[in-house]
Amino acid sequence: MTNHARDDADAAIDPDGGTAAGDAAAVAGKLEQVIAAQVRHYRTAGGLSSAELAARTGLSKAMISRVETATTSCSLTTLQRLADGLNVPVTALFRGADTDRDATFTKAGQGSLTVRSGTQHGHEYRVLGTLKGRTDALEPTLVTLTDASDVFPLFQHPGTEFIYMLSGKMVYGHGAYEYTMEAGDSLLLDGEGPHGPLELLDLPIRFLAVSAR
């Protein structure tokens, strides 16, 4: 092998011991397997034979077989024909292709304590999880009220909020309305309206506040 040829070969090898072409082939192979499984799933769920799906899509029976055995790469046109023949959106054929998604697991009694305007009045706010980089993510917060107080800060924020009572009893305000809430009660509200506890009737009080912005 000449030095030039050796340099070209070395350039194709990444630091982890693989090659760019090999990595691309692995990704493509995984995608083909996902499409194969989804096409087979929707075809059998719809009670269609390979011949019937072929007739619906204008593809050959042999092509349907190659798709379902992941031995061919589908063009966008073929994917659209398959989706139309199966009566599903094209995106349904890719379900399961991207399984690397964020999740947050929080053990009982854990979570991040945050300081808010009610902290100085005996209110505890424990955030139970967040997803990084998501502007539309939910923010679940466990709120615990342990001290009787005559001062109750009100909150306003974009989006919506869901309140679910776990224990205790309180009067919760939203705008001009008041709601007496106890364990098992819930309230869905527009976050733009001033909201928060107005009267603590039975301590300690614990409720889950889930906001979506």
Quick check: 96 pLDDT over 80? Answer: no
Domain with CATH 2.60.120.10 in the chain: 112-212
CATH architecture of 112-212: Sandwich (2.60)
| Per-residue pLDDT tens over the stretch 120-139 | 566 789 999 888 777 677 89
pLDDT computed for residue 117 by the predictor: 62
Weakest-pLDDT range from 49-63, 126-140, 167-181: 126-140
Most confidently modeled of 33-37, 90-94, 166-170?
Answer: 166-170
- Going by C-beta distance under 8 Å and a sequence separation of 6 or more, which residues neighbour residue 101? none
pTM: 0.56
Q: Pick the residue with more confidence: 76 or 11? A: 76
Instruction: Give domain 3-94's CATH superfamily.
Output: lambda repressor-like DNA-binding domains (1.10.260.40)
Query: Tokens 């929707």 appear where?
Result: 42
